[in-house]
């Protein structure tokens, strides 16, 4: 009997719970539902907060001044002010209406400009250089009013593709070695390159600043073994020249024909053009994967 009475009580209790959960004849508070609403509201508030703020270094890079990494250096050194107050904490966020300045000069977002130059020999890849009177910036001086700067470097005697932009964030993505942006060079040497040396370049060897190897290499002209096509992603200074010099060759001419999916096809030496929307989209898509 005791068992049956307990069972009856359990059934009544279960029935009551079903009523309460169904929302019928239940007049008390509903903590479970209230808790759910509270969480959703908090998440929505956090999303709204994120939507209305941006990391300070990202904003600085978006102005075309520099890359995010360089922006962090400006912040740490105390050169950045937000609404008149110095900010040195990395990771700081700002609102859309905050005023940001560097050395008391207000920073503003500019229209993003992307220019492709077929660099000729004898021009220095620099915005300023008191020791040289031929700068790549002179070749693109009339393309826009915005301040643009070279993405990476080509030494003075190297020809070929050079991208210039005021998009600091994209610049960082295109130049940092960890993103492995493909660069292909057409190399003209003083003598034929042996297959044994080609294998050495593929396998790799030590230079004074570390190990290096090519991502791909082949003869550029089947009838001329002194012309080589080499694919490499390293950003080390004069790396292609040093690879061949290490093996006893002298580079007579070096031409970069491919950079991060861009080519100089149809672009005469010393001339420039704006990137197409398709090319800009391709660069950004590959950079932010």
Q: Which residues are catalytic?
A: 155
Closest to 174 in 3D by CA, of 61, 55, 56, 53: 61
Q: From CA 203, how far away is CA 213, in angstroms rounded?
A: 6
Q: From CA 55, how far away is CA 250, in angstroms rounded?
A: 47
Give the position of tokens 């390159």. 193
Q: Is 232 helix (H, G, I), strand (E, B) or coil?
A: strand
- HSE at residue 191, side-chain half, CA atoms within 13 A, is 9
C-alpha pair distances (Å), 234 with each of 109, 129, 175, 183: 31, 25, 9, 9
144 neighbors 116 (Cβ within 8 angstroms): no
Within the chain, where are the H helices? 2-22, 31-51, 56-62, 68-76, 136-139, 168-175, 195-203, 239-246, 277-287
């Amino acid at each position: 009997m005791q068992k049956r009475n307990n069972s009856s009580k359990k059934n009544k209790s279960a029935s009551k719970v079903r009523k309460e959960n169904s929302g019928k004849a239940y007049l008390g508070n509903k903590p479970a539902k209230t808790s759910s609403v509270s969480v959703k509201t908090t998440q929505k508030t956090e999303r709204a907060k994120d939507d209305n703020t941006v990391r300070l270094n990202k904003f600085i890079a978006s102005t075309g001044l520099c890359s995010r990494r360089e922006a962090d250096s400006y912040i740490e050194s105390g050169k950045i002010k937000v609404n008149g107050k110095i900010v040195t904490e990395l990771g700081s966020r700002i609102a859309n209406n905050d005023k940001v300045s560097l050395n008391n000069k207000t920073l503003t977002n500019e229209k993003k400009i992307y220019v492709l130059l077929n660099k000729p020999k004898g021009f220095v890849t620099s915005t300023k250089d008191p020791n040289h009177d031929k700068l790549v910036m002179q070749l693109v001086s009339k393309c826009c009013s915005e301040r643009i700067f070279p993405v990476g470097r080509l030494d003075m005697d190297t020809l070929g593709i050079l991208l210039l932009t005021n998009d600091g964030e994209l610049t960082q993505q295109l130049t940092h070695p960890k993103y492995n942006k493909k660069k292909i060079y057409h190399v003209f040497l003083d003598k034929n390159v042996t297959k044994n040396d080609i294998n050495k370049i593929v396998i790799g060897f030590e230079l004074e600043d570390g190990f290096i190897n090519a991502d791909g290499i082949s003869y550029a002209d089947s009838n001329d073994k002194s012309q080589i096509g080499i694919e490499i992603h390293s950003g080390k200074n004069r790396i292609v020249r040093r690879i061949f010099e290490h093996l006893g060759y002298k580079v007579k001419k070096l031409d970069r024909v491919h950079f991060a999916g861009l080519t100089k096809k149809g672009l005469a030496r010393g001339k420039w053009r704006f990137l197409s929307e398709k090319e800009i989209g391709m660069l950004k898509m590959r950079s932010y994967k």
